[in-house]
Amino acid sequence: MLHFLIHKIRSRYTPKWLVLLFDLYIVVNTFLLAYLIRFNFTLNFNTSNLVFQVLLVLVVAISTFLMVGSFRNIIRHSGIRDALEVFKASFVILILLATIVLLNRQTKVVEGFTIPLSILVIHFLINCFALISSRYLIRRLYYILISEDKLKRKVLIYGAGENGMLTFDVLRDDFERKFKVLGFIDDNTNIIGKKIRNVEVYNPATIDAAFIKKKRITEIIISIQNIASQRLMEIVDTLSLLSIEVKIVPSSQTWINGNFKTTEIKKIKIEDLLGRTEIKLNNPTLKNEYSNKVVLITGAAGSIGSEIACQISHLKFKHLVLIDQAESELYNLQQNFRNRKVKNSNFLVADIRDQKRMNVIFKQYQPSVIFHAAAYKHVPFMEENPYEAIKVNIAGTKIMADLAIKNKVRKFVMISTDKAVNPTNIMGASKRIAELYINSLASNDSTKFVTTRFGNVLGSNGSVIPLFNNQIEKGGPITVTHKDIIRYFMTIPEACQLVLEAEVMSIGGEIFVFDMGVGIKIYDLALQMIRLSGLRYPEDITIKITGLRPGEKIYEELLADGENTIETHHAKIMIANVKKIDCEVIKQQIKDLCSSNDDLHIEQTVSKMKEIVPEFISNNSKYEELDTNKKQLQLKTSG
């Protein structure tokens, strides 16, 4: 029977009319109490007009409550805003009653009627206290009743700071989802062992499997704002060994009106660990960089191209021209822009290899700035398809760059990759050759050419994290090519913000490299993802070492041999101090490579790539024999 009543209380809200009657009952009783307080709890006052006064107070209170609407709020969720509304209603009642009393003293509309102003002031003070206290007491009574029901979730909050306190309050007041906070975890020695909000603060070192089992903890919620990703990774790495659900409070920037709900507390994902401190653009000229300018983006439907497009769409621009051959993804981007009501943008299904079509687009739109993000990027695919890598990554770049000069485009920004540095595969070599071609055009008078070079981006199409998630969902195994393989990660928004920043600061001819942070072992990444899924390695999910794929490196680099960096005003952006090249020789070599690109004689084509990029040494690839032949030829020549 008790559980039935509790369920009824929990599932139904108090009717608004009942709340209004309850408030009116309090107002009348506090008015009578004000008289008693004023006259020291005696009846030494004129009671003949008391009934009329009470009726007047009722009329004024009803009018005020209907106007302010304080009775419409749900009492079980009462908070500071509700208290302010009650205070406002009480103050309005005071003003209206005082105004009526003072006017009647002047006009004597109702002969002999008056209320001492001291009574009204006392009534106001008691009224505020009673109305606010009653809401708090009802809320606490509701919480106690609901707490009698079996609680499903016993949690610990990691972080006893301001954000942790806020999380505690939100969890405590969420009666529907039924949380019970059993304590805080914090490494601040000044508060360890003490009680906050009547629950204990624990040392992280004491939280082990036995503790979790004894206290029957179901989840731990990390509630620390602006935490460094490395520290967050350390915390999660420790907690994930406890076979317990680990969640995280979202960034305060995502809270609506400065508040968040328990439904926003999410399971921690690997992206939360690898995503680093948000980078904010600090160049004030960026907002006006594209004012009255046409911006063209190739590869606009891809991970990087679409994010650059979205970021520019929030800035001032004259026109956006978005090009890609992937019609489905380009359509999705178009719908995104339409939903956000972004004007002056065109979405063109087009191929950068089609010089005739590109020429028409340049003539039609006359772009001022080009972001060239179109490229094939998958290493194993390009190792099997060198013809396409050359056709798109090199010839396509050459077509766009040549048309940029021909049409006097102000700036041309090429998006490159860390795989272009000391390449060991066709894809990386093709991007390095594209870099060289862009570099060879730096001395022209009409267009400033810029290259940006960075590593892997989180959540991009075909990246390792979606692959691992898919393998975990299927029960494993997770496939890792090498136990020691290391990669650098950056979020897509962060990478694109840095691209825009580099474009603004460039004067032409630079290769910008980005600070990619600390390298992550892919094997450790797989272990983390298994644990974050609530599974155990190797009991639930195994990891299978498959061996390096054709052309794959153990680790990537951002600088080639002989290169170093020059600092810029942005701590995350550096300029690669590259070796001098013979521009005319490079141009001719690349022109010959593109014209002789032949799928039937692909080894000859790859050999030409190795001539253009001497540091291109194939790894775990069928093209390794070309390096052997080259070395033998060099020995014979030197002999």
Contacts of 552 (CB under 8 A, 6+ apart): 379, 380, 424, 425, 481, 482, 485, 619, 620
Other C-beta atoms lying within 10 Å of the C-beta of residue 288: 12
Q: Is 582 left (phi over 0), alpha (psi -120 to 50) or beta?
A: beta
Identify the burial level of 500 via C-beta atoms within 10 angstroms of its C-beta, where 0-12 means exposed, 13-18 middle and 19 or more buried. buried
CB 330 within 8 A of CB 324: yes
How sure is the predictor about 491, in pLDDT bands with cuts at 50, 70 and 90? confident
Interval 183-212: pLDDT, tens = 999 999 999 999 998 899 999 999 998 999
Q: What pLDDT was estimated at residue 262?
A: 73
Does residue 172 carry a pLDDT above 90?
no
| Structure token digits, residue 308 | 């650059």
Residue type, 564: N
Average pLDDT (617-630) is 86
How sure is the predictor about 313, in pLDDT bands with cuts at 50, 70 and 90? very high
292-455+491-516+557-612 CATH fold:
Rossmann fold (3.40.50)
* Residue 56 φ then ψ, to 5°: -60, -45
| Structure token digits, residue 192 | 């360890």
Q: Is the dihedral of CA 14, 17, 20, 22 positive or negative?
A: negative
CB 188 within 8 A of CB 234: no
| Structure token digits, residue 184 | 């805080």
Does residue 274 carry a pLDDT above 60?
yes
Residue with tokens 């103050």: 91
Interval 569-614: pLDDT, tens = 787 888 888 788 899 999 999 999 999 998 888 999 999 999 999 9
Average pLDDT (340-360) is 96
Q: Out of 4-18, 498-512, 531-545, 620-634, pick the least confident.
A: 4-18
Q: What pLDDT was estimated at residue 72?
A: 63
Q: How far apart are CA 407 and CA 367, in angstroms?
A: 8
Does residue 625 carry a pLDDT above 80?
yes
Average pLDDT (454-459) is 79
Identify the burial level of 595 via C-beta atoms within 10 angstroms of its C-beta, where 0-12 means exposed, 13-18 middle and 19 or more buried. exposed
Interval 52-81: pLDDT, tens = 888 888 888 888 878 877 666 655 555 566
Element (H, E) at 271: helix 270-274
Average pLDDT (518-522) is 84
Residue 521, SS3 per DSSP = strand
Does pTM top 0.75 for this prediction?
no
CB 527 within 8 A of CB 461: no
Q: Out of 250-264, 424-438, 466-480, pick the least confident.
A: 250-264
Which residue from 74, 90, 96 is spatially nearest to 18, judged by alpha carbons?
A: 74
Q: How far apart are CA 514 and CA 497, in angstroms?
A: 11
How sure is the predictor about 558, in pLDDT bands with cuts at 50, 70 and 90? low
Largest CA distance in the chain: 128
CB 574 within 8 A of CB 568: yes
- Strand ranges of the sheet holding 245-248, from the earlier edge strand across to the other edge: 195-196, 199-202, 179-185, 153-158, 219-222, 245-248, 266-267
Residue 399 CA, distance from chain mean position: 36
Average pLDDT (14-42) is 81
Which residue from 123, 143, 11, 140 is spatially nearest to 56, judged by alpha carbons?
A: 123
Interval 128-152: pLDDT, tens = 888 878 777 776 666 666 554 445 6
Other C-beta atoms lying within 10 Å of the C-beta of residue 123: 25
Residue type, 542: T
CB 390 within 8 A of CB 592: no
CB 327 within 8 A of CB 351: no
Q: What pLDDT was estimated at residue 629?
A: 65
Q: How far apart are CA 249 and CA 268, in angstroms?
A: 9
Q: What pLDDT was estimated at residue 9?
A: 44
pLDDT averaged over every residue in the chain: 84
Q: What pLDDT was estimated at residue 2?
A: 42
Q: Is the dihedral of CA 517, 523, 529, 535 positive or negative?
A: negative
DSSP string, 110-148: STT----HHHHHHHHHHHHHHHHHHHHHHHHHHHHHHHH
Q: How far apart are CA 368 and CA 597, in angstroms?
A: 31
Q: What pLDDT was estimated at residue 144?
A: 61
Where is mean pLDDT largest: 217-231, 516-530, 593-607?
593-607
CB 223 within 8 A of CB 165: no
CB 181 within 8 A of CB 157: yes
Identify the burial level of 284 via C-beta atoms within 10 angstroms of its C-beta, where 0-12 means exposed, 13-18 middle and 19 or more buried. exposed
Percent of the chain whose pLDDT exceeds 70: 86
Identify the burial level of 268 via C-beta atoms within 10 angstroms of its C-beta, where 0-12 means exposed, 13-18 middle and 19 or more buried. buried
Strands 448-454 and 411-417 come out as: parallel
Q: What pLDDT was estimated at residue 60?
A: 85
- CATH 3.40.50.720 maps onto the chain at 150-268, 292-455+491-516+557-612
At the second CATH level, the architecture of 150-268 is 3-Layer(aba) Sandwich (3.40)
